Amino acid sequence: MKFTVAIDGPAAAGKGTISKAIAEVFGFGHLDSGLLYRAVGIKTLEHGNGILDPVAAEDIAKHLTPEDLRRDDLRTGLAARAASKVAVLPNVRGALLEFQRIFARRDGGAVIDGRDIGTVICPEAEVKLFVTASAEIRARRRFEELKQTNADLTLDSVLNDVRARDKRDSEREMSPMVPAEDAVLLDTSELSIDAAVAKAVAIINERLEQGRD
Ligand code: CDP
């Protein structure tokens, strides 16, 4: 069975949590596509001693390994900033495209979260969700998550980072972050995680039912 759930949206809107829950409920494979960009970003920074060289980034994207995706520093603010900078490069996006497309159509179903899954990676996805929340609420969530490992962090700096990344992600020329025309919008500003997951599960169940008719 091929069944793809594409989940796009801005930083810390709840995509990751919802995707994991969906994968668990339906037994689908899950790919967090942000990890690909985070790994390319952090490796490119290391390679250039803090400078992001576009040619090196493309080469690193072409040779990314499963170990790169298991690094324990991919969730940092530094990796997120580097990710959104290498993510504007068409050659980096091109190098990561095929892997994501194959994953999306794997047998047994797939859920992929990112920014361009419903628009570019898998426009034929059976279910497309665009998960959002206000920038303030997203920054608060990300702050709570990151402050456990970074005591110097401030809410203001996280909010600035979130806004800068939203801007870069939605204004870039290639694969900007925009909801697909047929995406269902899910605003999680006022929703608990459980409520957001329940909504997503209901949407997928409805689509699966249609497939059986
Ligand atoms: O977890 P969070 O939403 O903060 O970020 P992420 O999904 O790990 O993505 C990190 C960065 O990678 C984003 O800000 C985007 O610039 C980039 N990205 C992208 O361009 N396309 C994707 N499909 C996924 C991530």
What CATH number belongs to 4-212?
Answer: 3.40.50.300
The answer for 4, left when phi > 0, alpha when psi is -120 to 50, beta otherwise, is: beta
With cut-offs at 50, 70 and 90, classify the pLDDT of residue 1.
Answer: confident
User: What is residue 31's three-state secondary structure?
Assistant: strand
Residue 213 has pLDDT above 70, yes or no: no
pLDDT digits (tens, 9 = 90+) for 116-135: 999 999 999 999 999 999 99
pLDDT digits (tens, 9 = 90+) for 130-157: 999 999 999 999 999 999 888 899 999 9
CA–CA distances in Å: residue 160 to residues 77, 136, 153, 155, 169: 11, 10, 12, 9, 14
pLDDT at res. 193: 86
Pocket of ligand 1 (CB under 6 A): 11-12, 16, 33-34, 37-38, 80, 83-84, 87, 114-117, 165, 169
| Distance between Cα 68 and ligand 1 center (Å) | 16
Given a contact cutoff of 8 angstroms between Cβ atoms, the answer to whether 8 and 33 are in contact is: no
Given a contact cutoff of 8 angstroms between Cβ atoms, the answer to whether 196 and 185 are in contact is: no
pLDDT at res. 39: 98
Ligand 1 nearest atom to the CA of residue 74, by list position: 8
